[in-house]
């Protein structure tokens, strides 16, 4: 994602902004928003905090310490494959227990 779209070119006069109704303009101004022209030609209504944040995103700073990138493979967790028999027993243990109990009752009654 390019950071150029976040670059604030200049602050505009609120009265010169077109494409917005007078009610919206007065609402934005009441909330503390000001119109700014972005580097891609769009007009954004930003507060002072938003403008500072967007300006900070476009600055290219040199870090004090170089960033060390971890290998992607080290960060991955290995997926351990489970035995299908164990998965079946874990999911159906109650059903198997009920069937064994019924079979035990049938064997006991038949004797």
The C-alpha atoms of residue 42 and residue 10 are separated, in whole angstroms, by 11
Flag whether 15 is in a domain.
Answer: yes
Q: How confident is the model at residue 1 (pLDDT cuts 50, 70, 90)?
A: very low
Stated pTM of the model: 0.47
Q: Does residue 5 have a pLDDT over 90?
A: no
Position 31 in a domain: yes
CA distance 28 to 47: 9
Would you call 38 helix, strand, or coil by DSSP?
strand
Residue 107 is predicted with a pLDDT of: 95
Q: Is 25 exposed, middle or buried (0-12, 13-18, 19+ CB in 10 A)?
A: middle
Residue 69 within a domain: no
Give pLDDT tens digits for 34-80: 898 888 888 888 888 877 777 776 666 666 656 666 566 666 667 77
Considering the domain boundaries, does residue 110 fall inside one? no
Cα–Cα distance, 57 to 6 (Å, whole number): 7
Q: Is residue 107 part of a domain?
A: no
The range of the structural domain enclosing residue 23 comes to 4-58
Q: Domain for residue 93, yes or no?
A: no
Give the model's pLDDT for residue 46. 86
| pLDDT value of residue 49 | 82
Torsion of CA 16, 19, 21, 26, to 10 degrees: -40
Total count of domains within the chain: 1
**Whole-number pLDDT of residue 65:** 58
Is 26 domain-assigned?
A: yes
One-character DSSP codes across 4-35:
GGG-EEEEPPGGG--SS-HHHHHHHHHTT-EE
Query: Distance between CA atoms of 86 and 89, rounded to whole angstroms?
Result: 5
The whole-number pLDDT of residue 56 equals: 72
- Confirm whether 87 is domain-assigned: no
């Amino acid at each position: 994602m390019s950071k150029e779209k976040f670059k604030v070119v200049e602050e505009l006069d609120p009265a010169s902004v077109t494409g917005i109704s007078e009610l919206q303009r007065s609402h934005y101004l009441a909330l503390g928003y000001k119109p700014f022209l972005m580097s891609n030609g769009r007009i954004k209504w930003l507060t002072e905090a938003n403008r500072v944040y967007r300006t900070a995103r476009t600055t290219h700073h040199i870090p004090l310490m170089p960033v060390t990138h971890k290998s992607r493979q080290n960060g991955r967790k290995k997926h351990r494959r489970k035995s299908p028999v164990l998965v079946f027993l874990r999911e159906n243990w109650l059903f198997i227990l009920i069937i064994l109990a019924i079979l035990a009752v049938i064997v006991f009654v038949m004797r």
